[in-house]
Structure 1
């Protein structure tokens, strides 16, 4: 059955927003940086938040807002996995959850593997937790990216104590295979290490790919792993501050429950209300429509780049609304986003922020109207021609 793609809101309406995407740069700049999207909220979320405002339900987050059960149901419907709601705990956002989990399992100075190019806050969260970043870059196969399993094993055998995964991967949009994840789990189990899997982009996996929750992969994964999940990326709820830390073993569940109460008190009340609505079956059709819109945009972007920026190298992502684009062939230096913003008036995320592998790259947010995407790429194309 075909799904009608969700329509993005018009630019004049979007510019009424006061979030970072719409207040960081002047109105003549098209903002395609960051991870906010331009679509209307899922109707169930709008109703939930509107009713909360109507009755003044703006206090502290309750002890059981239904968040854990809602996510368990969502994961079962969307991923074929039913995590145990009793093995979850909420907090403010995914990176805060990463920090708290790492703080619970690391000794000061322990090394934590990241797989660049990767989400920039990983580089800050690990030191905040007392760890040291160890880089094991993704491998470029020529057709896509994959985890460097021998590199991960070498780092763990050399004393690294944890792996911080991004699955699906930001910025490449790679959905790591079940086999690769199972091997990471086996390697971690062999060396007594922990795997923390950031799965915030999982709901945005396109139909031709299969997202595999790390904790569901194997007994090893359940024993060594934690997952961090949130509705914030798929449903555009980042400002409402709500995420879940998920365990699958008795030992890791005990670690979650031993965290200070303040870790859970940081959960935003509106974030919890919105996430319950997002994870409800009622919001599944909205999510399907969003995926259809993003599917169109990721393919339109490939055509636009080929027509207007022929020196760009771009692989259509398997998940998310973020495009990782190599512009190193244009000779615009290590950080081409600076020139693009200054001269083309298009704001993109700076590639070098994702690690050394980001030199010459930009990250573009295509969670917008097709006409906005076209205008942005045409502006960059004009800069190429000049």
Structure 2
């Protein structure tokens, strides 16, 4: 199955949930409703109120005879306490970890499972950017969720492909502590073109580090045939030259091209500075750049006309080189309108850059951009990332 391109499916149904106050209770409801099987694949997990709520709900599912399998990234789950891991295993939950750190493994330790998907009874999937942490799932003392994120609930034929993707990775993690990493090589091959129609169409898109990069091909193809808009939301903006070129060409064709990026509330400020070195040429080409101010942005969304891609993929150099990622691609008029609505609201809560503002940028800020841009280029060159 390595490198498999999944087809488009018709007759799917979607429910979009914005922020943990909406999607985390929905996850717990799906666990409560499950009758036979629950499969969970997550990158980030840490002990706290959210983990206890999820574990408690999973243990109830196991007690009524539901098979529960949980696959976590070994690095992303480092703050999940041993006692909670033991709770899961002692109750009968099958628990596996992707690529634990190993001495002398070198750059292989950098391969991470960044996917976020939950499959219930092989009938419902929830996919997006959720982390199992209080910052994603629990409101603070002011009633706010720290991370601005989303999950998409999907029913229909496309769920079978999500199950296949989970099963494949589960088998690769079968020997705990010694996952079989795919040999790194670039794959060629065409991805399925979107079919005719404007409702219920969906396909699974995935990245297996350098092995499969179909999401980039899909995005570039959609931008090339776009007629109205290209809106991208991502917290870490370090796109390759092909994506940057496509955005500039779309803007010069007169399309509405907008980026929704992190403002000063970001967990990796150096990445923000490194990505800002691309602002000048993008702004000059007519791309509108918005930095979100309300909270920490974690959305990973592409809206190109009525084509939608959302999930775990950030479209940055590092993601595309090292990570396992998965997005739900959708063509659905109603969902596109929902995505456009919430992105429009987010643009209003953002600071928009202008070319004149860029020209007037202070030397301290430019120094940070130059420094972290240089570091980024050196790291990319060292690892052979393009």
Q: TM-score, normalised by structure 2?
A: 0.29
By percentage of residues, which structure has more helix? 1
Report the structure, 1 or 2, having the larger strand content. 2
TM-score when normalising by structure 1: 0.29
